[in-house]
Structure 1
Amino acid sequence: MTEESTYIPTDSHDALRVTKDLFAGTISGITQVLVGQPFDTVKVRLASDTSNKYKGAGDVVKKLISQEGPLAFYKGALTPLVGVGACVSTQFAANEYMKRVVFKNEKHLTSFQYYISGSVAGLANTFLAAPIEHIRSRLQTQISGKLGPLDVIKQVYAKGGIPLLMRGFIPAGVREAHGMGLYFLTFEWLVKREMINNNIERKEISSYKLCLFGALAGYSMWFTSYPIDFVKSRLQTDNLESPKYKGSLDVIKDVWKNQGPKGFFRGFLPTILRAGPANAATFCAFELTMRLIG
């Protein structure tokens, strides 16, 4: 496949274009939460488990169902339904802006340009993702399930203000910059390949292929960035009263010393199981929404 970047005139001056990107991103974000939240809850429970309460993903599932009920898989879902909708809309809008305005080409960018576009989108999203994921993680790890999003926000803010709400910002930023770079690169490269090999327009790509490409994009992100996300989760679920970790390096040293390299992959199974369906749904929802609204 060639890597040349041929300029294709677009409707980049369309006043509603950014609004459309944000709307389609919001729809895809909500779809991602509905499909992926149960997997994410299991992942966070495992990643935050410092006392070895759970033997593995299967054990988390059994205990959630028996002790807290099936709805426990959607603990903290309200926050991501609103927050992830905003996050994903930011990611997709920033990625589309980079393609359309910065690189002045929506159709065929080079792989490097796709990676940079995705990385910028990830960095832009970090300012939303860090606090939103912090609150969601604390909701997902509470056993009684009595606190709501506002309760947790007030609790965290009272303990440390904005800096504590933004806890985990650095690993979240690293994960987003690299992970989103590969995420969008994978999807866009596969779309580009499909268009060139079959001489078709983007809108002609079938839904099942959009799902397949989205799933592969999700795998490319998580296979390369999960340990970074693990460190973020440990920081964001640390005890508020007597925190064990001062920062990312403390988490890395502690996990390496007590569990070795494999410790950074605790919770990896539910994450990878989630990556396929959640990201297939995310990209398919975005592309189909964009086709619908024009």
Structure 2
Amino acid sequence: MSDVAKTVKDLTAGTAGGIAQVLVGQPFDIVKVRMQTAPKGTYHGMLHCAGGILKNEGPLAFYKGTVPPLLGIGVCVSIQFGAMEYSKRFFGARNLANGIGGPDGLTLDGAQLFGSGVFAGLANGVVSGPVEHIRIRLQTQSATNPVYSGPWDAVRKIYSTNGIAGIYKGQAVTFLREASGYGMYFLAYEKLMQHEMASKGIKRDQVHPAKAVLFGAAAGYALWAVIYPIDMVKSRMQTDGFSAADGQKYKSSIDCVRTVWRTEGISAFTRGLSPTLIRSPFANGATFLGFEMASRLLNSWFQ
């Protein structure tokens, strides 16, 4: 298979994983975002928040703002896996030239896997920043008096008043989240896959699909263990006003951290963690299952 074909295959398989992630994880995500961004004391817990959404906005509200993530996260996860697999091949070629990393050089060490994950996260962050910004604006706006009629209306209005900087609001903290989180995410998943293949003497496409789900779930927990406080700051920045006249609370991400710490305490940095921990194994298990199964199918087609 040529390098171009491999890249197309990785991007396509990543898209399958991203669509699976959104469909499984979106209802949990809206609860997380509402809890992260609401004033202290608004919700007593995850069930209180979810119950309020169901009662006041109906069941379809759990998929509010789904169009941008369904399109955007599909692209984002496609980029993640495309960049990750490209980086793995890059390190694999170097390993092969140096006579390490197994017969094909692709048994990467921890530093190489973490570095590949960081590269994947940064590449992904270029798209995920604005996608999540628009999604969060839609998820947190009033149901009775919405500012935006949909994702494209949100993009148009934000761009018309604040330019490209408005679309990319909270981008610095997004890059920090993506780089650190996906470094750990792919490190955890790939190490588990390496152990499974080595312990059973099998190839990657022989690993049972259930293991992909299990390893994806574990990788998801590794990711959130690293990034949750960063994600909370990102959510606050992306729901904040664009100027003082627009109700802006935070001058920067650092100012956001200081203000939240001073006014709400350390517990604010883990608010909304419960729906995230419940969502994570399902969404991330589905992501890696979708990627692995699509990869196997595409490999059989391109042989």
Q: Deviations over 1:205-228 (max 9, x none)?
A: 101111000000000000111000
> 1:194 and 1:47, CA in 2 relative to 1: closer, same or farther beyond 3 A?
same
Residue 252 in structure 1 maps to residue 241 in structure 2: no
AA in 2 matched with 1:40: D
Match of 2:226 among 224, 227, 232: 224
Aligned position for 1:156: 158
Residue 137 in structure 1 maps to residue 136 in structure 2: yes
Match of 1:96 among 85, 110, 124: 85
C-alpha separation between the residues in 2 aligned to 1:52 and 1:158? 35
- 8 Å CA contact 1:214–1:283 kept in 2: the answer is yes
Q: TM-score, normalised by structure 2?
A: 0.90
Aligned position for 2:11: 22
- 8 Å CA contact 1:68–1:143 kept in 2: the answer is no
Match of 1:180 among 182, 199, 216: 182
Root-mean-square deviation (CA, aligned residues, Å) is 1.3
**CA drift at 1:15:** 3.0
Tell me the percent identity.
Answer: 46
Q: TM-score, normalised by structure 1?
A: 0.93
Deviates more, 1:42-51 or 1:214-223: 42-51
Please list every run of 5 or more consecutive structure 1 residues that lacks an aligned counterpart in the other structure.
Answer: 1-10
Aligned position for 1:117: 116
Match of 1:38 among 27, 45, 69: 27
Output aligned runs, 1:81-92, within 5 Å: 81-92=70-81
**CA drift at 1:239:** 3.0
AA in 1 matched with 2:9: K
Q: Deviations over 1:151-172 (max 9, x none)?
A: 1112211231111111111111
Deviates more, 1:274-283 or 1:95-104: 95-104
- 8 Å CA contact 1:219–1:275 kept in 2: the answer is yes
Alignment length, in residue pairs?
A: 283
**CA drift at 1:33:** 0.2
AA in 2 matched with 1:117: S
Aligned position for 1:8: none
Residue 273 in structure 1 maps to residue 275 in structure 2: no
**CA drift at 1:56:** 2.0
Please list every run of 5 or more consecutive structure 2 residues that lacks an aligned counterpart in the other structure.
Answer: 94-103
Match of 1:282 among 255, 268, 287: 287
- 8 Å CA contact 2:92–2:106 kept in 1: the answer is no
AA in 1 matched with 2:25: G
Aligned position for 1:107: 106
AA in 2 matched with 1:282: T
Deviates more, 1:240-249 or 1:202-211: 240-249
- 8 Å CA contact 1:99–1:106 kept in 2: the answer is no
**CA drift at 1:18:** 0.6
C-alpha separation between the residues in 2 aligned to 1:190 and 1:201? 13
C-alpha separation between the residues in 2 aligned to 1:92 and 1:185? 13
